[in-house]
């Protein structure tokens, strides 16, 4: 994608990035804020995320995504066409991930887990590894920094993924309204899905993934090369139409 034609705006961000934050600021964090004027939905090409909230389908997908003991080729999950692939907000989050990665990445694999935002996002982040019972990670706003808790008991690939997931929440918090709302009944909410989308796209550069997949054709080997949880690798391949 070429941003050459996009002028920087007053706050120094690209227009598309401000567009992203304006959507998130307008939403409640639970639903996609574009539901009333989503072109995809009216064209009935794909399922809208908002129609999936609270469904068994969505909770099955997210149980799968969270499960580090899946094994391939034994395990799989259905993935209907949804706005994850082509929805505007997802596209903007993809561009954000790409922008933040490519400015600081030397093209080594796996993509390092310390590419955190050296330019223009002025917030120190401290990371602590502690045993967590029910979660992979959490963020806290301290007086002079952000604190990310990562679950000490998780595998390294999961910690890397959780780290970037939490970084997305921090970025969103800095750029628009607070993002701490949790869906009360434990349903998967829009902000959580976007945070996963951001983390997956930082750690899994699409062209490199496609090239390695052509060589390996093996989900577990791919997960090892990119050092991401196996289900995340699988979902990324699925979204790209490679499995």
Please say whether the dihedral angle defined by the alpha carbons of residues 108, 111, 116 and 120, taken in this order, is positive or negative. Answer: positive
C-beta of 195: minimal distance to Zn ion in Å? 5
- Residue closer to Zn ion by CB (options 182, 217) is 182
Q: How far is the CB of 68 from Zn ion (least distance, A)?
A: 17
Q: Which is nearer to Zn ion, 29 or 205 (CB)?
A: 29
Task: Output the smallest distance, CB 169 to Zn ion, in A.
Answer: 5
Name the residue with tokens 């800095």: 174
Asked if 237 interacts with Zn ion (CB under 5 A), we say: no
State both tokens at 11: 């706050």
CB closer to Zn ion, 82 vs 162: 162
Smallest gap, in angstroms, from Cβ of residue 134 to Zn ion?
Answer: 13
Alpha-carbon gap, residue 17 to 95, rounded angstroms: 8
- Contact stretch for Zn ion (CB under 5 A) within 30-38, 107-115, 140-148, 192-200: 192-200
Q: How far is the CB of 116 from Zn ion (least distance, A)?
A: 16
Q: For helices 206-216 and 230-239, what crossing angle results, to 10°?
A: 100
The nearer residue to Zn ion, 192 or 227, going by C-beta atoms, is 192
* Interaction of residue 199 with Zn ion, rule CB under 5 A: no
DSSP 37: G
Closer residue to Zn ion in complex, CB, 21/198: 198
CA 237 to CA 69: how far, in whole Å?
A: 18
Can residue 195 be called a binding residue for Zn ion (CB under 5 A)?
yes
Contact between 24 and Zn ion (CB under 5 A)? no
Q: Which helix (H) or strand (E) holds 126?
A: strand 125-130
Segment contacting Zn ion (CB under 5 A): 21-29, 58-66, 80-88, 193-201? 193-201
Output the smallest distance, CB 168 to Zn ion, in A: 8
DSSP string over 167-232: HHHHHHHHHSS------TT----HHHHHHHHHHHHHHS-HHHHHHHHHHH--HHHHHHHHT--HHH
Shortest CB 165 distance to Zn ion, Å: 6
In terms of Cβ atoms closer than 10 Å to its own Cβ (0-12, 13-18, 19+), residue 202 is: buried
Specify the residue, 60 or 181, whose C-beta has the smaller distance to Zn ion.
Answer: 181
Choices 17-25, 76-84, 190-198, 224-232 (CB under 5 A): range interacting with Zn ion: 190-198
Q: Whats the size of the chain, residue-wise?
A: 243
Q: Please give the radius of gyration of the chain, using alpha carbons only, rounded to the nearest integer.
A: 17
For Zn ion, the binding residues (CB under 5 A) are 192, 195
């Amino acid at each position: 994608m070429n941003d050459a034609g996009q002028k920087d705006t007053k706050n120094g961000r690209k227009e598309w990035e401000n567009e992203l934050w304006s959507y998130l600021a307008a939403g409640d964090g639970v639903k996609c804020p574009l539901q009333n004027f989503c072109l995809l939905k009216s064209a009935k090409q794909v399922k809208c995320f908002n129609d999936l909230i609270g469904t068994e389908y969505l909770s099955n997908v997210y149980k799968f995504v969270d499960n580090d003991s899946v094994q391939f080729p034994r395990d799989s999950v259905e993935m209907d066409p949804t706005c994850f692939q082509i929805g505007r907000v997802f596209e903007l989050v993809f561009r954000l991930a790409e922008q933040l990665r490519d400015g600081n990445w030397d093209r080594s694999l796996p993509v390092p887990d310390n590419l955190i935002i050296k330019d223009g996002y002025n917030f120190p982040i401290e990371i602590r590894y502690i045993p967590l019972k029910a979660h992979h990670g959490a963020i806290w706003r301290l007086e002079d920094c952000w604190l990310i808790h990562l679950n000490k008991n998780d595998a390294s690939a999961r910690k890397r993924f959780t780290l970037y997931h939490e970084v997305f929440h921090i970025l969103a918090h800095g750029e628009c309204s607070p993002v701490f709302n949790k869906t009360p009944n434990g349903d998967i909410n829009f902000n959580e899905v976007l945070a996963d989308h951001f983390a997956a796209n930082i750690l899994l550069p699409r062209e490199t993934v496609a090239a390695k997949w052509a060589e390996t054709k093996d989900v577990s080997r791919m997960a090892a090369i990119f050092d991401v949880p196996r289900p995340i690798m699988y979902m990324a391949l699925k979204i790209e139409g490679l499995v």
